[in-house]
Structure 1
């Protein structure tokens, strides 16, 4: 962002504006804001903060004014508390400041053992639960965000992976004793008390969400294994999965909103491996000039690895799901809800 820092604020992304706002608040107030953000949000803001240099006074004033206008028109921010990713804060602020910030956030919140898992690296979470009872593993995987859960599943061998997904799909509620047991297992690393009531988590939809984030090399064999065990369940999971091709079923207004949140580099990579229907859907929801530039970029882009294309598509799907959860767009396709 260093070369773009003089851009008018209208051309800055929402994440860049958020980074400018947090940098302007100072460390203590920024900590209070970050405490109410999820790990993925803080990761993006942390990267943007680390790229900020020579921010103009005019930019700060415009961002502040826009923030006041937006907040003034709302009755509630509607934000939920969650964990966040330590590495991104370290990258943005340096290790000492990041550690101080983490302490302030955690001391000011009510982070439970399961919530704290959300800012651990997937490999570390897998190591913690590797030798625990399969049902405990399933509870952890069902509780975490689908993309993090998918990375955790990737750390296990196929047989264990299959068992966990089947258990996640079968979950409906979790009894207090199970949550208490999990907190006891992790008591040296996390804090929190067991809930007094059953907790809803898991289910076929959650299993489908997790499957969406698995690499194709893992997702295909795993789905085949599920089909061998329970053909009806595999069909239910497939019906609920939302894949990149399903973006063709999103309405034009939704596609336009989604494209405003996606960088051009990621979009070009994702479209390299997309069907013509998806490409045309994107092109028709851009200005004629922007569509021409995108076509030129696609033609000029040389061969790319399949893993890079899949990674770009997953990044766009992550944004789409977040926007769907907040009500900004409605997803169609396999997992979409019928509209009347």
Structure 2
């Protein structure tokens, strides 16, 4: 985010910031109607962007609106198909889990039972499940998105964290009837009915994804305890974790695509403590002028908190994971000569 006393530059805006500007330009009524169809993560990210958006010039607003209109015009032939809606939302909002938004729009899914937890603050969910059996907690966290599950896990008592992660990693699906029973138990604390269709929760990949979102020190502590208790399981989780250094394994075209979604401020912070190979990977996939400006910004930036650097790196990784899931990024290979 640019500072409030600086003029906003459309070229450096993230997807969430562009979405915020677009919604704010529509007025309260229309913006509220759109937000009703968005998932909890989308609402939180766009809402945060709105709260931090100020001093936006008319030129920037027009640039955002024109970009949105161009996207609609370019894909109008898709005529309302699910692919069209998903791609439009991904590019217009730049948010994770576009499929969840599609579900809400096309299928009218409501937030009940387990699904309602996705709308709750991590602290509230942690209080709700704190006294449950570790296996129940593992199932609940497996059902949630990685970043929310990580926030909840960090609030739970330290002595239980590694046990819960091991249970998540050891989950090999769950019977639909058992998941529905858990859903009904939670539903009684709220309202309505819910239909749980998927039993594919848990596993080492889920555990790795949750740990990816945790603070570095907490993540290391949990992994040490897991490897001490079960070395093979710990190694399996570790191999599936996606860390900042893994960006060097993304092909060049993918890096160029990724950089379009990351704000300049986040990128500078993320690279402050990055390995030189990662920095060079980023530099070589930018235009000469852009890479020189980034190098200057890195040199000019004074000491920063390690926690701020880790937060910025995790933000970049979250975007990268979302783009990998949608097929926009690939590991390895060579990219083209496109520049950002």
Does residue 125 of structure 1 match 2:128? no
Change over 3 Å in CA distance of 1:148–1:64 after alignment to 2 = closer
Q: CA deviation at 1:81?
A: 3.6
Q: CA deviation at 1:53?
A: 5.9
Does residue 47 of structure 1 match 2:55? no
Change over 3 Å in CA distance of 1:70–1:14 after alignment to 2 = farther
Change over 3 Å in CA distance of 1:178–1:45 after alignment to 2 = closer
Please list, as runs of the form range in 1=range in 2, the aligned pairs for 1:1-340 lying within 5 A after superposition: 13-50=14-51, 51=53, 56=58, 59=62, 62-63=66-67, 65-74=69-78, 75=81, 76-78=84-86, 79-81=98-100, 109-175=109-175, 176-195=177-196, 199-331=199-331
Q: C-alpha offsets along residues 89-142 of structure 1, whole Å, 9 cap, x if unaligned?
A: xxxxxxxxxxxxxxxx9xx64222222111211111100000112222111110
DSSP 3-state at the match of 2:155: coil
Q: Which moved more, 1:49-58 or 1:136-145?
A: 49-58
Contact 1:208 1:240 in 2 (8 A): yes
Q: CA deviation at 1:160?
A: 0.9
RMSD: 2.9
Q: What residue number does 1:338 align with? A: none
Contact 1:82 1:115 in 2 (8 A): no
DSSP 3-state at the match of 1:199: coil
Question: In the aligned structure 2, how far is the partner of 1:138 from the partner of 1:61?
Answer: 43
Question: In the aligned structure 2, how far is the partner of 1:77 from the partner of 1:63?
Answer: 16
DSSP 3-state at the match of 1:80: helix
Change over 3 Å in CA distance of 1:128–1:234 after alignment to 2 = same
Q: What residue number does 1:91 align with? A: none
Q: CA deviation at 1:318?
A: 0.8
Unaligned runs of 5+ in 2: 87-97, 334-340
DSSP 3-state at the match of 2:286: coil
Contact 2:114 2:187 in 1 (8 A): no
Q: Which moved more, 1:166-175 or 1:241-250?
A: 166-175
DSSP 3-state at the match of 1:163: helix
Question: In the aligned structure 2, how far is the partner of 1:3 from the partner of 1:56?
Answer: 16
Unaligned runs of 5+ in 1: 84-104, 334-340
Q: Which moved more, 1:44-53 or 1:310-319?
A: 44-53
Change over 3 Å in CA distance of 1:116–1:5 after alignment to 2 = farther
DSSP 3-state at the match of 2:156: coil
Contact 1:113 1:186 in 2 (8 A): yes
Q: CA deviation at 1:56?
A: 3.6
Question: In the aligned structure 2, how far is the partner of 1:247 from the partner of 1:36?
Answer: 33
Contact 1:71 1:77 in 2 (8 A): no
Q: C-alpha offsets along residues 21-52 of structure 1, whole Å, 9 cap, x if unaligned?
A: 33344545434433443333322322333425
Change over 3 Å in CA distance of 1:6–1:168 after alignment to 2 = closer
Change over 3 Å in CA distance of 1:124–1:291 after alignment to 2 = same
DSSP 3-state at the match of 1:260: helix
DSSP 3-state at the match of 2:319: helix
Q: CA deviation at 1:211?
A: 1.1
